[in-house]
Amino acid sequence: MKKLKVSAAVLSCFLLLSFLCACGARFGNSGTADAGEPATEPEEKLTVVGFSQVGAESDWRSANTESMKSVFTEANGYELIFEDAQQKQTNQIMAIRSFIQQEVDYIVVAPVTETGWDTVLQEAKDAGIPVIIVDRMVDVPNSNLFECWVGSDFELEARKMCEWLRWFCVKHNIDAKDIYIADIQGTIGASAQIGRTRGLKIAAEEYGWNIVAEVEGEFTRTKGYEATQQLLRKYPKMNVVYCENDNEAFGAIEAIEDAGRRVGSNIKAGEIMVLSFDGVKPEALQDVLDDSISCIAECNPLHGPRVEAIIQKLENGETPQKYEYVDEDVFSAYDQIESVIVDSKEYPITQVSEALIEKRRAEFDAGSYDEELPDNVY
């Protein structure tokens, strides 16, 4: 009798389970009543991208981060793991190792400086994870350690800028030996610093300008201010401050004005000319229109869609171009120089106007600065 009781209990459990299973198979999670359909819609797998960003040192960097974040969204089929390295290579190496541990599909790195990547990139290669380098370059013995690179030709930016300065001097009868330039450099060892410093040195040697100082400015406003303050005391003859980005230029302008000097293109009348790179924020273009910055060589930060295009190519089994340079402009409000020539190629100078600034401001407000991409985006 006891035996019969147990068997009855087992049987009822079995029947209940069979009923529940049948219901599960019939309705699934979506509640669909059609028999034979899978229980759940197969979820689309997100492509996981680990992005190691340099930091948040400049307006350029913020626009670059925004460009990446706006593309690598779940809606576009991605999961983005974003790591801000706060300008430290050790943090970037830690981030890359953690991406490897998490078995991401792609690693994207904006390297703070060029050297010191061999070991960690080899680790990513051994793990079979493709690495895309963006913005600045890496200096590694074997370029097979990364899939490809996309970014700016920083030396070309500098050479365009220097050609503009040369022609400005010609048009205003300013003798080369009367030009005293202080170079407020970016983060030492970063491609943007190396290229911009080198471009200036080549031109100074060729045209006979004096470079009175090279000081590190780390691409920040604070350092730009501090450096200029000291340079003004040390080099009273300094009449051109060559800032390796806009944030340094904002600091330099403030320091010059705080010291009771005037910023502007009229060197002969004692003004101090400020030159800069990036041209990302409308405020920088406004400074050009106001003659606080005489010329800006553009550095384009909108790499999100470019990196995505590379990933799509890799997903399709195609080989992306190994090195992809982006098109960049030169901005000035001085209308006597329409273009400059570097290595036999002509580059137009874009005249900054209220309309151009308004357009840039509207793009910023709409959060769609990346609407207009240069022609060479895939």
Sign of torsion over alpha carbons 177, 179, 183, 189:
negative
- Minimum Å distance from CB 116 to ligand AHR? 16
Chain positions 314 to 343 lying near ligand AHR, rule: CB under 6 A, are none
281 lies in the site for ligand AHR, by CB under 6 A: no
Token output for 130? 């493709």
**Which residues are paired to 183 by β-bridges?**
214, 242
130 or 224: whose CB is closer to ligand AHR? 224
Token output for 297? 């060589």
Q: Number of residues in contact with ligand AHR, rule: CB under 6 A? A: 12
Instruction: From 9, 39, 10, select the one nearest 23 (Cα to Cα).
Output: 39
Instruction: From 332, 370, 377, select the one nearest 352 (Cα to Cα).
Output: 332
219 lies in the site for ligand AHR, by CB under 6 A: yes
58 lies in the site for ligand AHR, by CB under 6 A: yes
245 lies in the site for ligand AHR, by CB under 6 A: yes
207 or 364: whose CB is closer to ligand AHR? 364
58 or 332: whose CB is closer to ligand AHR? 58
Chain positions 293 to 312 lying near ligand AHR, rule: CB under 6 A, are 299
Chain positions 177 to 196 lying near ligand AHR, rule: CB under 6 A, are 192
Q: Are 166 and 342 in contact (CB under 8 A)?
A: no
Token output for 209? 């300008």
Instruction: From 357, 335, 363, 362, select the one nearest 348 (Cα to Cα).
Output: 335
- Minimum Å distance from CB 155 to ligand AHR? 13
- Minimum Å distance from CB 263 to ligand AHR? 20
166 or 196: whose CB is closer to ligand AHR? 196
Chain positions 118 to 157 lying near ligand AHR, rule: CB under 6 A, are 135-136
Angle CA 230–232–233, to nearest 5? 70
277 lies in the site for ligand AHR, by CB under 6 A: yes
59 or 105: whose CB is closer to ligand AHR? 59
**For residue 48, how many other CB atoms are within 10 A of its CB?**
18
Stretch that binds ligand AHR, among 9-17, 52-60, 176-184, 340-348 (CB under 6 A): 52-60
Q: What is the 3-state secondary structure (H, E, C) of 57-103?
A: CCHHHHHHHHHHHHHCCCCCCEEEEEEECCCCHHHHHHHHHHHHHCC
List residues near ligand AHR by CB under 6 A.
57-58, 60-61, 135-136, 192, 219, 245, 277-278, 299
